[in-house]
Amino acid sequence: MPHQRSLFDVVGPIMIGPSSSHTAGAVRLGALARAVFGGQPTVADIELHGSFASTGPGHGTDLALAAGLLGMALDDPRIRTALALAADAGMTITLCESDLGEVHPNTARLTLSDADGNATTVQGSSVGGAAVVLSRIGDFDVSISGELPVLIVEHHDEPGVIAAVSALLAAHGVNVASMEVSREMRGAQALMVLETDQPVGDGTVAEMAEVPAVTSIRVVPAV
């Protein structure tokens, strides 16, 4: 059956331009990085790759990434002054060009930290029409679009952890849309990423935190 094109496919997202890839996608990428980090960072070191590095400044990619880190929507008129607003909010942003290897040309790597010493590195790409894919969190490969809520569970690689987390979600009526698990090596640290059809409640998260092998849980809303 042929793909049915939606109005979004034709006219694109409601956004501040000029580019759905370099501007709107960069806003979503920044917003997704903020969501994975768990809030607004105080320091953001951003590496721009490929087209993001070469033509991004002319399309406001730097402003868009800053806007996403501030939690702005795609059509927020303040995007045009996002770097100044980030500075006013106490966020230090540095940008540089970087070769990130064989990745999509519209890719950025963001290393985020706060005053409490929390730090996270995420890498992702703007793949067109404001769609994004987060491809890496720390040392783990992932594939997160931001279209659905995501549960990120870091845990020791041992039998029964995936089953325990899945059982808790089922018990609380949460349907899993997709799951991927990666690990450093057998028996070492692992990362479970679950896209869900509905947000995971605080009570469910608290129960998951009691699973002995689980070391951290992050709830990432759709962006």
Domain-wise residue ranges, the chain = 7-138, 150-220
pLDDT for the residue numbered 60: 85
Residue bearing tokens 């060009």? 97
| Neighbour-count burial of 159, counting CB atoms closer than 10 A to its CB (0-12 exposed, 13-18 middle, 19+ buried) | exposed
For 47, the token pair is 């590496």
In the chain, what percentage of residues exceed pLDDT 90? 77
Range with the poorest average pLDDT among 9-13, 142-146, 203-207? 9-13
State pLDDT tens for residues 36-60.
Answer: 999 999 999 999 999 889 876 667 8
CATH topology of domain 7-138: 60s Ribosomal Protein L30; Chain: A; (3.30.1330)
pTM of the predicted model as reported, rounded to 2 decimal places: 0.85
Beta bridge partners of 194: 151, 179
Q: Answer yes or no: is pLDDT of 145 > 60.
A: yes
Q: Which CATH superfamily is domain 150-220 in?
A: ACT domain (3.30.70.260)
For 23, half-sphere exposure in the C-beta direction (CA atoms, 13 angstrom radius) is 20
Q: Answer yes or no: is pLDDT of 1 > 50.
A: no
For 91, the token pair is 């966020």
Buried b (16+ CB within 10 A) or exposed e, 37-62: beebbeebbbbbbbbbbeebeebbbb
H or E stretch at 140: strand 140-144
What does the pLDDT average to over 142-153?
Answer: 95
What span, in angstroms and rounded, lies between the C-alpha atoms of 6 and 112? 35
CB 40 within 8 A of CB 76: no
What is the band of 151 on the pLDDT scale with cuts at 50, 70, 90? Answer: very high
Residue bearing tokens 């969190």? 137
What span, in angstroms and rounded, lies between the C-alpha atoms of 122 and 110? 5
What span, in angstroms and rounded, lies between the C-alpha atoms of 96 and 180? 31
Task: From residue 174, give the alpha-carbon distance in Å to each of 161, 169, 178, 181, 201.
Answer: 17, 5, 12, 18, 9
Q: Answer yes or no: is pLDDT of 12 > 70.
A: no
Residues in the chain, how many?
A: 223
State pLDDT tens for residues 155-213.
Answer: 999 999 999 999 999 999 999 999 999 988 888 999 999 999 999 999 999 999 999 99
Report the mean per-residue pLDDT for the chain: 89
pLDDT for the residue numbered 55: 77
For 105, the token pair is 């040309």
What is the maximal distance between C-alpha atoms in the chain? Answer: 53
